[in-house]
Structure 1
Amino acid sequence: MRVLVLGGDGYLGWPTALHLSDSGHQTAVLDNFARRGYDRELGVDSLVPIEDLDTRVAAWHEVSGQQITAYSGDLCDADFVYRVVREFRPEAIVHFAEQRAAPYSMIDRQHAVYTQQNNVIGTLNLMYAVAEIDPDIHLVKLGTMGEYGTPNIDIEEGWLEVEHNGRKDRMLYPKKPGSFYHLSKVHDSHNLEFGCRVWGLRVTDLNQGVVYGQQTPQTIRDPRLATRFDYDAVFGTVLNRFVIQAVLGEPLTVYGTGGQTRGLLDIRDTIECIRLAVENPAEVGEFRVFNQMTESFSVAEIAELVADTFPGPVQVDHLENPRVEQPEHYYNVKHTGLVGLGLQPHLLSDTLIESMFPIVAEHKDRVNLGALLPTVTWRGGLKTG
């Protein structure tokens, strides 16, 4: 199958492209390298050094014999999007090409507007390109579990059967996002469902939990194939932060009480979920939703797990939560679709010991301790008076 991976230079896009190529698919990647620009803007860097895209592509060809085609450009440039779709003729498109950090979207008005414009307009351009050039292309879009928020009812896989005043209907699950970034993903989902309903598009929306891990069966074949390891308070995950703090002998910094619960999954499960979705496409006119997670933990439970598995003393500190979110909440997520397609999940406790602690220990001299502390608050972008 011919598969185009958008955002193919990123943390998940690059190992996904390798996994698809290694699975026998003719693969291309597209990126505008904005993610590397955010590092320069924020004065941070990946814990694990990463090569430029040309070096990565050449290294993959060297170790695998497979060729990945690379395109450089922006989804907000509609002419560019149309040209690439016509030239590569993909049968499936995997869409990672969005600004993905909630804290980045909450810095101020400029960053909120940029996030929504970049994400929503880029996706609209892609929708129109597919609809006008080849509506049979299967679009696999990376959503986020953050679209749902933390409702006090079970979270279904995208759709909800509703009975109201004696009548029943099936509708998209109500969304309660927690940042301007998550709101942009909700807009994407609604736009794509509309495209399926009125144009007959094929879309799989993968509402993904927090991804952890840095190594996949493909990236470990050569250091030049490594993907990112983000740990800063804007783009890094809470788990990455805790692992680094444990290795460096620093206290684990839990925001608030640590009662916030999230779904998580290993990076190896993420790329396998993409492969399963690509090889088992949605039907014509179908907006299919999978909740992409394998385990759920509260932040306090993640801290406890890191402390229990790290071979050394670990201290836990609690900081004032810079986000506006419920400190304690109900969280029960249905996530059977991908397991039904054959996903065999990895467990967080195993990955911590097998790879995460050793990776951080190897690169601990690259850690910027100042980048671990929160610098963005959910009300910090507001100006009063």
Structure 2
Amino acid sequence: MGLPPPVVLHLEHLDVTFYFSSCWESLKVWSSRMGALSPRVFTLLLAPSVLSFFVPRREGVRSLRASIAGGDEAPKKKKILVLGGDGFCGWPTSLHLSDAGHDVTIVDNLSRRNIDTELGCDSLTPISHPEVRLAAWEELTGKKIGFESIDVAEDYDRLAALIDKERPDAIVHFAEQRAAPYSQKGEKQKRYTVDNNVRGTHNVLTAVVEADCCAHLVHLGTMGVYGYGTSGGEIPEGYIDVVLPGGREAKILHPAYPGSVYHTTKCLDALLFQFYNKNDGLRITDLHQGIVWGTNTKLTAMDDRLLNRFDYDGDYGTVLNRFLMQAALGVPLTVYGTGGQTRAFIHISDTAKCIELAINNPPQVGQPVEIFNQVAETRRVRDIADKISSMSNVPARFLPNPRQEAAENELDVSNRKFRSLGFEPTLLDDALFDEVQLVARKYKDRCIQTKILPASFWNRKRAIECKETTAPVPPPARVPPAVSSSSSSSSSKEPASPAVA
């Protein structure tokens, strides 16, 4: 029998290569009783015991054993912390992960609900208190989700103690102020967004390092880190290949073009991830997500006590949900500027599915930060307005744009990584529009119509233009719609610098 091939262990910055030849004598007895051992069987028998000496962490042994066997292990039950699990994306994701059999604990300080009070605008859907939600989930499914009231940005000691105690397999990080308009509202909101988002992310990273925990961090980022100008080509997933002065080739993080304070915090998050990945070997996946639309998933729709929130206001209501709310009310759809902004979209149910895919496909210790573009398709805003307008017989009204951004842009986005993992995106279609409109119609009496209009402006110039202009902007000339399930391209009438929505 020949010797098996060498096994190379990547232990952060140390490569260890060794052969199993020294152990051959001890296997002669086994060989006489079991027959000739193939190199593959030899490796599988010996690897677990030897590797336990070189790699003390269970995760390292498990992942390496799987790679030696020739493939990844089947998904197993994991202990998962969902930071920000009471929010718009966090709540349905928590239910999805619990339904898949994972041990889920939500960590939240209910800050999003407090912002409702600040803005004087509640969720359109009457969302239940976390205690009621979690009790209903356990009653309906027999599955329990834990809850810890912790401010991730302020209560570092409690966060660190929880991570050290629970030693989760994965941490899903939603615990950030998520609205670009809110982050531009005023100095208070700008400072809060930076303090909460950047400090919170850094606290999570530091706590994982101090606990010596091998948790896989899955972060909800944004497509906005790339900017929404005309790139002239497909936006890759996180990294680009460049040639440095002198001719050396390198792979670097895609340049950041944030278009709001909120998007800037996500860019700063990305730099923190790069540092802690290289310095401390943390396993991190950053999901650059498109605009989320929809409200419920099949799990949140099981019972009224499980309903997800539906934001329709000018600060937190995403463009498609705002249009559907206005259509349900029979009032004109408010399109900002020319409506020529092309954006990436994803349904709320797909957000939960993609996060599970990311959790089940973590990077290994020593690998770079994994970055996915978490998008289903791209559409031009005015094309969406046209579609909803034709469905509902409600006209569109073009208003001055409160944002500092390009009037028109192309957007060509790669989402091959999730596609390669079996992701089948939910696309914008009439049936799902109808589903969201049913929710909007059911609870329309809870809607404050004036809250749908923009209430935050990117700078003084935009604020003056929006407040002084009472007449609608004339609608632009029609151009062919830009629709794609993996990328999109829309014509740009003028050169546009990178800008974000």
Question: 2 CA distance for matches of 1:212 and 1:334?
Answer: 20
Matched, 1:96 2:174: yes
Indicate the SS of the match to 1:343. coil
Per-residue deviation at 1:381?
10
1:140 aligns with 2:218: yes
1:173 aligned partner? 254
Match of 1:39?
116
1:150 to partner: Cα distance? 2.0
- Could you tell me how far 1:120 is from its partner in structure 2? 0.5
Residue 362 (structure 1) shift: 0.9
Cα distance in 2 between the residues matched to 1:305 and 1:190: 39
Out of 317, 342, 349, the residue aligned to residue 397 of structure 2 is 317
Note the 1:43-62 alignment, pairs <5 A.
43-62=120-139
The structure 2 residue matched to 1:7, chosen from 63, 84, 92, is 84
Q: Is the contact made by 2:167 and 2:213 (CA closer than 8 Å) also made in structure 1? A: no
Q: 1:270 aligns with which of 344, 351, 355?
A: 351
Structure 2 gap ranges (5+): 1-77, 464-501
Structure 1 contact 213–351 (Cα < 8 Å) conserved: no
Greater RCO, CA 8 A, separation 6+: 1
Residue 112 of structure 2 is aligned to residue 30 of structure 1: no
Match of 2:202 among 93, 115, 124: 124
Q: Which SS does the other structure have where 1:348 is aligned?
A: coil
Q: Which residue of 1 aligns with 2:376?
A: 294
SS at match of 2:285: strand
Q: 1:135, CA displacement in angstroms?
A: 3.9
For the residues of structure 2 that align with 1:382 and 1:230, how far apart are their CA atoms? Answer: 23
Shift of 1:313: 1.2
Question: Within 1, Cα distance between the matches of 2:164 and 2:332?
Answer: 52
For residues 97-135 of structure 1, give each alpha carbon's deviation from its aligned partner in whole angstroms, at most 9, with x where no partner exists.
000111111111221111011100111010011112134
Q: Give the direction of change, closer, same or farther, for the CA distance of 1:73–1:380 in structure 2 (3 Å limit).
A: farther
Q: Quote how far apart the aligned CAs of 1:382 are.
A: 11
1:191 has 2:268 as partner: no
The secondary structure found in structure 1 opposite 2:221 is strand
The 1:57/1:296 distance shift into structure 2, 3 A limit, reads same
Q: Which residue of 1 aligns with 2:476?
A: none
Structure 2 equivalent of residue 67 of structure 1? 144
Contact residue 135 and residue 200 of structure 1 kept, 8 A: no
Aligned residue among 89, 92, 107 for 2:185: 107
For 1:163, the equivalent position in structure 2 comes to 243
Query: Which residue does the alignment assign to 1:209?
Result: 290
The answer as to whether partners of 2:83 and 2:173 remain within 8 angstroms in 1 is yes
Distance between the aligned counterparts of 1:280 and 1:350, measured in 2? 33
CA deviation map 1:246-272 (0-9, x unaligned): 111111100000011110011111100
Q: Matches of 2:114 and 2:152 in 1, distance apart? A: 16
**Matched residue of 2:121: which SS?**
coil
Residues 332-351 of structure 1 mapped to structure 2, 5 A cutoff: 332-351=412-431
The answer to whether the Cα contact below 8 Å between 2:401 and 2:462 also exists between their aligned partners in 1 is no
Further displaced range: 128-137 or 171-180: 128-137
Q: Secondary structure of the equivalent of 2:394? A: coil
In 2: Cα distance, 1:353 partner to 1:373 partner: 21
Give the Cα–Cα distance (whole angstroms) in 1 for the partners of residues 197 and 122 of structure 2: 23
Worse-superposed segment, 314-323 or 159-168: 159-168
2:4 aligns with none
Q: What is the Cα deviation at residue 354 of structure 1? A: 4.4
Deviation at 1:221, TM superposition (A): 1.3
Identity %, equivalent residues: 47
Decide whether the 8 Å contact of 1:108 with 1:380 is kept in 2: no
Contact kept, 8 Å, 1:135 with 1:201, in 2: the verdict is no
2-structure distance, mates of 1:380, 1:62:
51
What is the CA–CA distance in structure 2 between the aligned matches of 1:351 and 1:20, rounded to whole Å? 26
Instruction: Report the AA paired with residue 147 of structure 2.
Output: A
| 1:263-320, Cα deviation, whole Å (9 max, x unpaired) | 0011111100011111111221330000000110111011012123x2x412011000
Q: Could you tell me which of 342, 365, 384 is aligned with 1:284?
A: 365
CA distance 1:258–1:381, shift in 2 (3 Å): closer
> What letter corresponds to residue 277 of structure 1 in structure 2?
A
Give the TM-score taking structure 1 as reference length.
0.96
Note the C-alpha offset of 1:89. Answer: 2.0
Counterpart residue number, 2:386: 304
Q: Which structure is larger by alpha-carbon Rg, 1 or 2?
A: 2
Q: Distance in 1 between matches of 2:150 and 2:98?
A: 21
1:327-366 matched pairs, under 5 angstroms: 327-366=407-446
Deviations, residues 28-77 of structure 1 (Å, cap 9, x unaligned): 00001100011000000111110011111100000000010100011122
Quote the Cα distance in structure 1 between the aligned partners of 2:462 and 2:297. Answer: 41
CA–CA separation in structure 2 for the residues paired with 1:174 and 1:135: 31
Check the 8 A contact 1:158/1:290 in 2, yes or no: yes
- Measured after TM superposition, the shift of residue 353 of structure 1 is 3.6
SS of the residue corresponding to residue 268 of structure 1 reads helix
Give the superposed CA RMSD.
1.6
Contact 1:109 1:381 in 2 (8 A): no
Give TM-score scaled by structure 2 length.
Answer: 0.74
- Give 1:16's aligned residue: 93
Alpha-carbon offset, residue 352 of structure 1? 3.3
Instruction: Give the secondary-structure state (helix, strand or coil) at the position aligned to 2:273.
Output: helix
Distance 1:275 1:134 in 2: 24
Q: Which residue type is aligned with residue 212 of structure 2?
A: D
Distance in 1, matches of 2:393 and 2:434, equals: 19
